[in-house]
């Protein structure tokens, strides 16, 4: 794989991962905003790792933490009774390292880690698809896609579940059940005869 994406990730049976893959404009963040409280009501502690395609900063110029980070602190950890923020410069990297980010959330013992973005990485995924966005489905080329949630009826490869993108209850059920399915889902889908044919 290219751009620093490995062929495989090391998985841990006790740390279920689920990628949310979709083209920009599909509504990944909006959907997660609706699903996270519902998953919380079911007793699931969900960590989210979100990919950003641009430079971003959560710190504010002039604040002590920003000044210290600019002076060379790496990492810079700021903590209060309400929250903790870890900021670290990563110069020279073409892309964020998902394996490293997973290791950062591991000590918090979430019931599930949802990975938004990182669509080229080798991990099980729920693909979101809206035909009006005008982009192709990724499921045919990505054997890690386990289900596709769409607001249209789609022809999907064998072994891929079809979900209704507008049915929040059904999506919550599917994601809430993911930790139980995780140990059996740590490999890509098998190639179908049609995919294997030259």
Each of the 198 residues of the chain gets a pLDDT tens digit; together they read 345 677 878 898 999 999 999 998 999 999 999 999 999 999 999 999 998 766 666 777 888 888 888 888 888 888 889 988 887 777 777 778 899 999 999 999 999 999 998 888 999 999 999 999 999 999 999 999 999 999 999 999 999 999 999 999 999 999 999 999 999 999 999 876 555 545
122 contact partners, CB below 8 Å, separation of at least 6: 1, 5, 6, 7, 8, 9, 144, 188
79 contact partners, CB below 8 Å, separation of at least 6: 85
């Amino acid at each position: 794989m290219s751009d620093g994406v490995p062929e495989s990730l090391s998985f841990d049976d006790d740390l279920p991962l689920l990628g949310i893959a979709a083209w920009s404009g599909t509504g990944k963040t909006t959907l997660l905003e609706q699903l996270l409280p519902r998953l919380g009501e079911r007793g699931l502690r969900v960590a989210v790792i979100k990919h950003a395609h641009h430079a971003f900063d959560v710190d504010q110029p002039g604040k002590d933490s920003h000044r210290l980070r600019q002076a060379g602190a790496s990492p810079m950890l700021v903590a209060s009774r309400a929250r903790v923020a870890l900021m670290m410069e990563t110069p020279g990297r073409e892309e964020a390292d998902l394996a490293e980010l997973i290791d950062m959330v591991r000590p918090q013992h979430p019931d599930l880690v949802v990975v938004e973005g990182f669509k080229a990485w080798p991990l099980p995924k729920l693909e979101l698809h809206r035909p009006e966005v005008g982009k192709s489905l990724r499921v045919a080329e990505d054997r890690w896609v386990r289900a596709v949630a769409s607001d249209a009826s789609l022809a999907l490869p064998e072994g891929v579940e079809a979900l209704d993108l507008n049915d929040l209850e059904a999506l919550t059920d599917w994601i809430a059940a993911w930790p139980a399915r995780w140990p059996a889902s740590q490999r890509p889908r098998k190639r179908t005869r049609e995919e294997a044919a030259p």
